[in-house]
Amino acid sequence: MGSRSVLFIAAVIFTSLLLGMSHGNAENALVTSPNYSSKISPADAWVTSAGGSGSDMAWDMVLDGQGNSFVTGSFSGSATFGSTTLSSIGGIDGFVAKMDNLGNWVWASQISGGYDDWGSGIDVDTNGNVYVTGPFINNQDSTSPSVQLGSYSLNAHSQSSYDMFVGKLDSSGTWLWAQTSNKLTELDQVTWQYVEQFGQVLPTDIKVFNNSITVSGSYNGKIYAYSDSQGDWYYESTKDNSGITTTDAYVGFLGLDGTWASQHGWGGISQNDAATAVAPSPSGNYWYIAGSFANTVEFIGGSTHSSSGGSQDIWIMQITDGGEVEWVISAGGSGADTLRDMVVDSSDSLYAVGEFEGSLAAFGTHRLTSNSGGSDVWAGKVGVSNNWLWAKQGGGASDDMGFSIALSPDESAVYSVGQISGQVTFENSGASQLATSNGPSDAFVAISSSSTGEWEDVFVAGGPSAGDRAWAIGIDSQNITHTAGRFKGTSNGLAEFGSDDISSAGDFDIFVWKGLIEDDDDDRVANEDDDCPQVWGNATVSPHIGCPDADGDGYADVDDTHPSEPTQWRDQDGDGFGDNPLGNLADDCPTINGTSTIDLTGCIDTDGDGWSDQRDAFPIEPTQWNDSDGDNYGDNWNDDELTPNFGTLGLGEYIFGAIDMDYCPTLPGVDTFDNPGCPDSDGDGWSDVTDDFINNPTQWKDSDGDGWGDNSSTGATQGDDLPFDE
């Protein structure tokens, strides 16, 4: 049957394809990750490597229900996985390997071809069967490449330089079947023979949905779609304005026995159209496909989108369980923007990760601008009704990339992994998270809030060489992170993964990393750095890092003179007052043991009245400390009946039994007899207040008020011969 455009019947195609298929919970654990409260510190954290002298790397990883890791990727030369050594036949070969929950390689199977081939996506079902996809490529010429998966040999089209493989292995690593892309054959009008048409697919991701396998990627040429009563339907990739065939987005569906159900494609005139990720909804209501595009593209379902200024943007498509395309959204800015991975929560909200370039990349109403120099990581959340709920970025001056994303079991935390270069910042409106690679670039695991997207923590792993990166993240039944990727480390500069250090055999090697640190007491301090490795602690200051710190000031309780006061931690004179001058209970005399608490703290207070000796007018008299008028009589009073009068002055206070009370606290005085501390102009001991003769020291009383004093003693002047005669 001749070429037919199938875009206009897209809804019919998807409906006919998916009727009867139940897209329930995904049968893999790659899309989940540990609860933030418990995920980072397993007691049995480890990192395991595999590889050889060539360049080896893990491209994808998935976990089964027992915490076993299934890894796929590439190697060159020879690569050792535990007791199994594989040797490449061409340039780069692929592998599929199983690791148990203790970090031991169980088996490894080879994907071999004459040129380059590798595994790019992997998944596992509930029976432990493994599904893998990847490309096989001829980089030398246009001769049809081939690939061998166990006893299964696959060939690309005679004019193709690449194609994809999809294969299934049992739990012991034996290949059960293998398929290449579903080729289209058409009747040659001259020879009347059916001839296979040119078509090639580059796969990116694979997921198992109950009884169906979904593969995403890009394609070029013609791909078989499906057959009905009208004949064979196919897709043909778009041609650009010069008539050159471009690369379009691709998704294909197979049964668990490897039988092709259908293939679909869409795209525009650019070479940047691809489907990069597939994710099912745990609710079973939807499933999602996402990828990249440039210029203008009409998507399955009829939606048309144009990228920003013709650059590469991202797209996300939601499809119902019945096969109907609900919506397609796009996002991006002036630079090249990529979506690498996504995961869906139980409310059908979607989380995605990738990288972006340039300024004001639009994710709905959210705008991101990358740091100068290259790409930054982005992570975003899309609600079930196609609205961007948040979008956040992380990065620095060099290229930073996000490759995989996962959710905690309670869906409160999001985990993103990838590669950072140099010093980077992961944005947080409260306090941004800073991280620095050990070498030019390292792998990272970043944790953010699923509700707000705020980055909460960043962990970095790798060695002193460039190119270390994490490609995939998953969790086991104990809510512990498992991360896979590539690294390079030598005896002169080991690669650090939490508290474990490892070296590569040659160039890049494969790593699988369980837990972010080895931490027996779950305090997020690695055992090797924890001075109290069996006791939870939050102290950050040596020599007691990781020990209990009740007040959270960084100093351990055993090393903190003020364990309940977060602003003080040292007291060199041992008087109970801290040495930090800006903190509470600060010591004004930090090198002298003292007990003063009122005017100065921690200074000498001889009489114990709370006032320091240097500011106490009566340093050895505890009932007095202030002398406002400087006459050596104190401002405190000893008769409570005087409080209404003296209290209003604000100079002293009532003290029972106070001595040396000043009856005139605002007036300097030398009176010592009737009103001590009041003025006594003639110095006769009687205050001017009560002295009838304030300028005659020999007289002070005039009983009869006649102006003559009562004192008739020898030497007295102005005496009264009749003192009581009125």
Task: Tally the residues of the chain.
Answer: 726
pLDDT for the residue numbered 43:
60
557 has pLDDT over 60: yes
- What does pLDDT average to over the chain? 87
pLDDT at residue 42, rounded to an integer: 60
Over range 521-527, report the average pLDDT: 80
Residue predicted with more confidence, 401 or 239: 401
Q: What is the pLDDT of residues 146-176, one digit of tens each?
A: 999 999 999 998 888 999 999 999 999 999 9
The answer, yes or no, to whether residue 111 has pLDDT greater than 70, is yes
Share of the chain above pLDDT 70, in %: 93
Note the CATH number of domain 7-518: 2.130.10.10
Through-space distance between the first and last CA atoms of the chain, rounded to whole angstroms = 149
More confident residue, 107 or 229: 107
Q: Cα dihedral angle (553, 555, 558, 560), rounded to 10 degrees? A: -70
pLDDT band at 24 (very low <50, low <70, confident <90, very high): very low
Evaluate whether 669 touches 677 at the Cβ level (below 8 Å): yes
pLDDT computed for residue 173 by the predictor: 98
Average pLDDT over residues 633-644: 89
- Please check whether residue 461 is in contact with residue 496, taking contact to mean a CB–CB distance below 8 angstroms: yes
Q: How far apart are CA 288 and CA 307, in angstroms?
A: 20
Tell whether the model's pLDDT for residue 1 goes beyond 50.
no
pLDDT the model gives residue 233: 84
- CA-CA distance, 320 to 348, in Å (whole number)? 11
Neighbour tally for 425: CB within 10 Å:
17
304-363 pLDDT, tens digit each: 999 987 789 999 999 987 788 999 999 999 899 999 999 999 999 999 999 999 888 999
pLDDT confidence of residue 717 = 86
Q: Is the pLDDT of residue 705 over 90?
A: no
Q: Please indicate whether residue 533 or residue 523 has the higher confidence score (pLDDT).
A: 533
pLDDT, tens digit, 9 for 90 and up, residues 370-384: 887 689 999 999 999
- The token pair that represents 212 in the structure block: 């169906």
Give Rg (Cα) of the chain: 42
Please report, for residues 137, 152, 179, 243, 478, the alpha-carbon distance to residue 160 in angstroms, rounded to integers and kept in the order given: 9, 19, 16, 18, 46
pLDDT digit string, tens, across residues 413-467: 999 999 999 999 999 998 888 999 988 999 999 999 999 999 998 999 998 988 9
Do the beta carbons of residue 576 and residue 560 sit within 8 Å?
Answer: no
What number of other Cβ atoms are within 10 A of residue 295's Cβ? 21
Stated pTM of the model: 0.73
The answer, yes or no, to whether residue 73 has pLDDT greater than 90, is: yes
Q: Is the pLDDT score of 294 beyond 70?
A: yes
pLDDT confidence of 142, banded at 50, 70, 90?
Answer: low
The Cα 306–Cα 628 span in angstroms is: 83
Domain extents for the chain?
A: 7-518, 692-726
The mean pLDDT of 540-569, rounded to a whole number, is: 95
Confidence band of 577 (pLDDT split at 50, 70, 90): very high
